[in-house]
Amino acid sequence: MENHSLVQRLIARPEFGPFVLLVVEIGVFWGFNHDFLSPQNISNTLAFTVELGLIALAMTLLMTSGEFDLSVGSLFGFSPVLMWTLFNSGVTSLEMGFVAALLVAALIGLVNGWFVTQLKIPSFLVTLGMLLVVRGSALFITDGFPQRTWSAEGSWLAEALVGDFFIGPFRIYMSLFWFIAAAIALGYVLTQSRTGNWIQAAGGNPNAARARGVNVNRVKIGLFVLSSVMASLAGVISSLRTSAANPNSGTGYELEVIAMVVIGGTALTGGRGTIIGTVLGILILRVMRNGIVLIGVPGLAYNIFIGAIILGMMALHSWLERRHQAGT
């Protein structure tokens, strides 16, 4: 009876569905093409996973508080453009350009948070407007052309963020360790700290949270800043790894990131979030993108699979939630 109860609790957890889907997904793709689990393919998949993953981790906390940020994709493209523009024009060193890009991103997050909390404008509309402002700024600065980036060779910043080495046959980038550190830190914040309680309270019932002394506005502004800074960091990491800074980079990433978070089990309406689930959601979509190409499905069909997964996972989460509330 006790084992039966344990199984029920495991199945009821929001991470259970994404975990099963990921295992099935890996098994199916490996069955079609054994190269799917080759060291080279695993290394490539992990390299791409980290960059969107960093944004998704911050988005998990923001969505748990009941808000969205649609400007993350544009910041992903804008921050490396700003960093390289400052460096190539001789205004700053590469490292100071990096700091400047993060500070500008933090300011953008602060503006987003202020509009949402002080002017009471829905975050969907605020960050949609900011998306256009930031993307337009990147295109204006560059005249629509990619920035020169090859001067980063030998920079300690590039080595610290995207330096690579081999563990056996696996090529590992330093960015993977930044992702793991961020996942552990934000997972702890969300589940083990007072701040995590504030975040969940702000998303679940903000009026009750205010009545209990939680500064909901400050919490949400802080999360908007975190979201913007993580998007900026992810963009710089991608730029250094690929030696490219395209003002159009990150187009559409905001929706893919939200999909990762939702698939992982974070409530779309706020109040409940899971970093472990988000990590699983990140892997599900990145493995899907990689796997469909390996088995010969046109890459343009990727959005069909994302949409189907989102609908399926939403139905599963809804069913599990109803079972949990019914006590069965």
Our separate counts of H helices and E strands in the chain read 14, 2
**What are the structure tokens assigned to 280, written together?**
């699983």
**39 confidence band (pLDDT: 50, 70, 90):** very high
d(CA 171, CA 169): 7
The string of pLDDT tens digits covering residues 156-167 is 888 899 888 888
- Contact, 238 vs 51, CB < 8 A? yes
Residue 311: exposure state from Cβ atoms within 10 A (0-12, 13-18, ≥19)? exposed
Over residues 94-98, mean pLDDT: 92
pLDDT band, residue 279 (cuts 50/70/90): very high
Decide if 238 contacts 249 (C-beta within 8 A). Answer: yes
Q: Are 264 and 281 in contact (CB under 8 A)?
A: yes
Whether 228 has a pLDDT exceeding 80, the answer reads yes
Q: Which residue in 11, 157, 126 sits closest to 62, CA to CA?
A: 126
Q: Which domains does the chain have, with CATH numbers?
A: 32-324 (1.10.3470)
Name the maximum alpha-carbon separation found in the chain: 70
∠ Cα 149 253 51 (to 5°): 55
Q: Of all helices (H) and strands (E), which one includes residue 8?
A: helix 2-12
198 contacts 214 by C-beta, under 8 angstroms: yes
The C-alpha angle 24, 6, 328, rounded to 5 degrees, equals 90
Q: Amino acid identity, residue 142?
A: T
- pLDDT tier at 1 (50, 70, 90 boundaries)? low
Determine the Cα–Cα distance for residues 153 and 165; give it in Å rounded to an integer. Answer: 16
Amino acid letter, 115: F
Which residue has better confidence, 147 or 78? 78
Structure tokens at 209: 């949270």
Which has the closest alpha carbon to 53: 74, 72, 30? 72
Amino acid occupying residue 323: R
Sign of CA dihedral 269, 69, 281, 193: negative
Q: What letters, b where the CB count within 10 A reaches 16 and e where it falls short, cover 13-51?
A: bbbbbbbebbeebbeebeeeeeebeeeebbbebbbebbb
User: Cα dist. 120→58, 105, 114, 202 in Å?
Assistant: 22, 22, 9, 15
Among 14-28, 92-106, 303-317, which stretch is predicted with the lowest mean pLDDT? 303-317
pLDDT band at 269 (very low <50, low <70, confident <90, very high): confident
Q: What percent of the chain has pLDDT over 70?
A: 93
